[in-house]
Each structure stands twice: as C-alpha cells, then as structure tokens.
Amino acid sequence: MLQTTVFDVQSIRKEFPILERKVNGHPLIYLDNAATSQTPKVVIEAIVDYYSRYNANIHRGVHSLSQEATDAYEQARQKIQEHFNAAQSYEIILTSGTTHAINLVANGFADLLQKGDEIIVSALEHHSNIVPWQMLCERTGADLKVIPMSEEGELDMTTYRELLNERTKLVFVNHVSNALGTINPVKEIITLAHDKGAAVLVDGAQATPHIKPDVQELDCDFYTCSAHKICGPTGVGMLYGKEAWLKKLPPYQGGGEMISEVTFEKTTYADLPHKFEAGTPNVCGVIAFGVALDFMNGLGLDRIAAYENELLAYATKRLTEIEGLRIYGPETNKASVISFNIDGIHPYDIGAIIDKLGIAVRTGHHCAQPIMDFYRIPGTVRASFAFYNTKEEIDIFVDAVKRAKTMLL
C-alpha cells in the first residue's frame, strides 16, 4: 500500500511562477528536475533585489554598496557552511558549479600524484566526474581504476575493496546517480578509502535536492554541489574541502582576490577561501544560493524526501503497467528518478511526442555514457520528480507515454 505524506503541494506550487505557464497549449508538467530545478519567487525576488538595490563588487570597496554586497555574500557562505555542517566557513569554496569544483580538485592533485599512483572512479559517474580525472591521469601517469556496477544499477563493493591498495590516492564517487537515481553507500566508500590513506571526493549534485549531507559525519575530504539543482540560480555552486586538503592544494586560477601580495619577482597567495576564488565572483548567484537553501530548509529536507519517495513509488507502479517498459536501476534505495525505455522505441521519440503534450522529460545518455554502454542502449527516457510535482501530473505523464507508444509501434 502506498503511503501518503502530509505535504501542502498546491500551496508550494504557487511559489513557482513557471508552473503556471503552458507549453504547446497544455499546462506545463515539469519532470526534468535532475537536470535543473525550478526557481521559487523568493529566490527570483532576491536576484531582483540585489540588482535593484546593492549591486557592487565585493571585498575591496569602502563604499556602502560594496559593504552591503560583501556582507550578504559572506552571510550566504555561512548559510552554506551551516547547511552542510562544515567545521569552518572558509572550508566552503564558492564556484560556478559542480563541474568547476571537481576540476579545481583535479588540477590541484596534478602536483600530488606521480606515475604508478592509482585513483578510483565509479561506473555510475556523470562525465564531469570522469573526464577531469582522465585528464589528470594523462598529465601525471597515474592509473584510473573503475568500481563496476551491477545489472541492478548498484556498485560492486566487493570489487571496490579489492581495488583499494597502498597506491590508491583518491576516490571519487557521486552520492546519487543522475542517470539511475541510485543512492551510493558513500559513508562506507569513504571509510574504506581512508583505511588505505586515500582521499575521497563526493559529487553531491544529484543528492542535495533530496538529502541534507553532513560533511563532518560523512568524513569526506571534498563534497560538491550546484545551486541550480536546489532551487537556486545557474552558474553557482560550492566545493567543501577539509582545511588540511585545501591548504595542500595549489590555487586553480590566478587573478584578483586570490592574492596576498603581487610583485614581478613573486606573488603570495591569499588565505582560505579566497585562495581558490580568483576574479569577480557571481555575487548575486551566491546570495540567491543562500536564499534557496533557506527555502529548502523551511520546507524541511526530510519532508521533501518523504513526499518525493511517495511520488517515486506511485510513478513506478503506474509506469510498470505499460507492457514492454523497462526501468533501469535499483528498485529501492534510490532518489526520485526513473530511467526507462519501451521495447522497440527510441527514447528521443517518446520525449518528443510527450513534449507536444506539455511534458518535460530528459532523453539521451544523461552525460553518463558508460552506464548506457553497460546496458547496451543508446539512452533512456528520464523522469525526475520534485516536491512541487503531483500524482495528478504523473497520471497525465503515464497516459502520454501510453499514447506515444501507440503512435510509435
């Protein structure tokens, strides 16, 4: 029996202006939340307020606008620190997003790795958590090892234990798979890696809309996320790093803000976090990121997860009514993502047809080609649910998929 969570979704939906629009003459049903979430009015208003009242460059201005912008920017950093339970605010590095954050760490490890060292990636990764490490191996001569996945879309932890050895220097894994929704056992992965002296980076881009990570409890060395997955704006994200590791890594980019003193003979670098924040930052984006976290915490991440799990169970039940439909990934222990195909139909064709009915889903390999290669498929239809979606929307979505199947077969 499906459980019901007390969650005033209709009131919440009123906070998202885009949900009122129509697409191709039909009310928008937005089921592409794993790609980007929609933006509530409070975040939109924060962006307008910034540009209307105190738009200024930060940290180096004595005038009032600059000081107001600086205060709001650093208060947002503190909100992010508190949300993720980092020990210090300077362990929060503000970036343009998860991809930027991962590349920052990969670049830093180029000075720390040597030929014969090993780094480990999981088979469930987004390309942004594969390609930077491949580039790192090309630069350093280190070897890239892969934790394999099972047919059920879960990591083979037995093989992971076998891969770990004294040559392992770094392990990187996503908290939640963007393609399948798998929630990975990151706490166990981190503990096992630390037993061998290896550092661990967790890509939290897909986890943070559903889970409130405690980086101290996880004991991860690095954790990344993007604001646009958590009701914030695009172009901003964060890297959490343990203080000791951030002090060990060299700066990623040179320029203003990240320096202490500059002469033509020698430049010295700023302390954390500014050492990794060269150039003019996305001031407005960071402030809006903090507002988005306030919004999410106001709803409660536990309540959000419970309601989304209810939507996931309902959508899974409804979709499995369709003959020839296969869902990829685990049946349990997953976030609110469903990746599926229908026998004999290309996923793009399904996505194109239901778009004409106002329904937004993602089709393709979802920047996770190794997963698609594992299943020997070109891609999937991915429906990803957020706390502002409804069971009524799921019913319309399932009917649309049935209609697409009838048209295409």
Catalogue the active-site residues: 367
**Are 97 and 235 contacting, i.e. CB atoms less than 8 angstroms apart?**
yes
Cα-based angle 144, 150, 153 (whole degrees, multiple of 5)? 95
Closest CA to 289 of 129, 95, 100, 101: 95
CA dist., res. 145 & res. 384, Å (int): 30
Cis-peptide, bond into residue 273, ω within 30° of zero: yes
Instruction: Using only the alpha carbons of the chain, give its radius of gyration.
Output: 22
In angstroms, the CA 236 to CA 100 distance is 9
Q: What is the DSSP letter of 14?
A: T
CA distance readout (Å), 68 to 74, 89, 212, 256, 258: 10, 19, 29, 20, 21
Q: How far is CA 126 from CA 93, 179, 192, 341, in A?
A: 21, 8, 22, 20
Q: Which residues contact 320 (CB under 8 A, 6 or more apart)?
A: 327
- 143 close to 165: Cβ distance less than 8 angstroms: no
Q: Which of 221, 229, 183, 182 minimizes the C-alpha distance to 202?
A: 221
Residue 400 CA: distances (Å) to CA of 339, 396, 403, 406 = 16, 6, 5, 10
Close Cβ partners of 21 (under 8 Å, ≥ 6 residues apart): 28
Distance separating alpha carbons of residues 383 and 366, to the nearest angstrom? 12
Cα(300)–Cα(302) distance, integer angstroms = 5
Token output for 210: 């559903």
Residue 37 φ then ψ, to 5°: -85, 165
Question: How many whole angstroms from its chain centre is CA 150?
Answer: 22
Angle at 28 between CA 23 and CA 30, to 5 degrees: 125
Q: What gap in Å lies between CA 381 and CA 336, rounded to an integer? A: 14
The two tokens of residue 87 are 């020990």
